[in-house]
Amino acid sequence: MNRVPMEKKVLSENDRIAGQLRERFGENEVLCVNLISSPGAGKTSLLERTLEGFPRGERVAVLTGDIQTDNDAARLARFGFPVRQITTGGTCHLDARMVERALEGWPLEDLDLLLIENVGNLVCPASYDLGEAAKIVVLSTAEGEDKPLKYPSIFFKSALLVLNKIDLLPYVPFDMAKARENARRVHPDMEIVEVSCATGAGLAVWQQWLQKRRNAMAAEMIVGIP
Amino acid sequence: MHELGIANSVLEAVRAEAQRHPGALPVKVSVRVGELAGVDPDALTFSFEALTSGTEWARLALEVETCPRLHHCPACGNTFRVVDYQFACPACGAPRTECVSGDELELAYLEMEEP
């Protein structure tokens, strides 16, 4: 019997493509973020409010993933920024090749920010690197505050937790302090913002977070020039 | 349920490795799955069997080694297994420790019968 070591990642092909994407985003100074949540937590609403808040001419684009339908792309295209739908046809997550294909013919040098909306799912998207600078997990107050403990992988891998639907707090048993505590149990350094896409509360803080990451990326590029 | 796609990636890696060893018969592939990887070992095994049964790979077994979440304490150098999200160092009590493993999704080795 011959045993051959195979020291490599199972998803090495995905990671290879994600690495190429990350390089392209870096070269073109595009901040790419990957939004992940369970279905109905408000990813599309958050993107609607985000796009609505940008001035015309902002260099932003959206890729939105769904198993079926282009409903989300239609919702997001109203704001006048480029939007492309990725319909996975049954697959429960986006992978790097889908993103690579969706970006074909899209000049990255015209962009500063690429928002990717993953398929609604807290499990599978955690395994797939899309070349993003940060994963962002969205959790709504209509869900359980124990989600971070039930789905630790995605909370561990996300830089930011967006707690959405805070306008519902008077009507739901959601314990905000406990939710924050659970997120930090899984990921002690996690950044957290609380928002309501219905009332607009907290959206300025979310926009500031995005801007901070964009500034950090620009600063990194300046430092990187020899 | 993305384990089917992951099982297929494992099988593709075995195919590529087998091509480098003409005549040898792959009989076991081993993968390491961290507890933070978000991959269910049972679903992965089930998917792998569904992919291989009745094919030329029917004799190929999948071994899944699960890897615990390990943290390293920068204060005292201790490395320990995290249980129930307790991140404080059990040796010196330092509250801030760093995750060093537990999100693996890696191929470990392939066993082949020589021709």
pLDDT tens digits for range B40-94 = 999 999 999 999 999 999 999 999 999 999 999 999 999 999 998 888 999 999 9
ipTM of the complex model: 0.78
Which of B36, B72, B111, B113 has the highest number of chain A CBs within 10 A, making it the mutation to test binding with A?
B36
The pLDDT value recorded for residue A1 is 79
pLDDT tens, position by position, A65-115: 988 888 889 999 999 999 999 998 888 899 999 999 999 999 999 999 999
Give the closest residue to B113 by CA, choosing from B29, B28, B24: B24
Return the number of CB contacts < 8 Å for A and B. Answer: 91
- Are B107 and A7 in contact (CB < 8 Å)? yes
The pLDDT value recorded for residue A222 is 67
- Cα distances (angstroms) measured from residue A92 to each of A124, B2, B4, B14: 7, 7, 11, 25
The pLDDT value recorded for residue A226 is 42
d(CA A142, CA A119): 19
Residues of B in contact with A127 (CB under 8 A): 2, 6, 37-39, 105
* Residue A213, both tokens: 């990451």
Length of chain B: 115
The pLDDT value recorded for residue A37 is 97
Domains within chain B, CATH numbers bracketed: 3-68+102-113 (3.30.2320.50)
Structure confidence at residue B2 as a pLDDT band (50, 70, 90): confident
Residues of B in contact with A7 (CB under 8 A): 106-108
Core vs surface per residue A161-190: b (16+ CB within 10 A) or e: bbbbbbbeeeeeebeeeebbebbbbbbeeb
Helix (H), strand (E), coil (C) string for B56-98: CCCCCEEEEEEECCEEECCCCCCEEECCCCCCCCCCCCCCCCE
Q: Residue B25: how many CA atoms within 13 Å on its side-chain side? A: 9
Q: Which fold has domain A22-215?
A: Rossmann fold (3.40.50)
The pLDDT value recorded for residue A223 is 64
Regions of chain A where pLDDT drops below 50? 226
- Are B105 and A9 in contact (CB < 8 Å)? yes
- Quote the pTM value: 0.87
pLDDT, averaged across chain A: 93
- Are B87 and A188 in contact (CB < 8 Å)? yes
For chain A, domain boundaries:
22-215
d(CA A80, CA A57): 9
- Cα distances (angstroms) measured from residue A84 to each of B31, B65, B100: 36, 39, 37
Taking the mean position of all CA atoms in its chain, how far away is CA A5?
A: 35
Structure confidence at residue B30 as a pLDDT band (50, 70, 90): very high
- Are B38 and A123 in contact (CB < 8 Å)? yes
- Are B85 and A185 in contact (CB < 8 Å)? yes
User: What single DSSP character describes residue A55?
Assistant: P
How many Å lie between the alpha carbon of A51 and the closest alpha carbon of chain B? 31
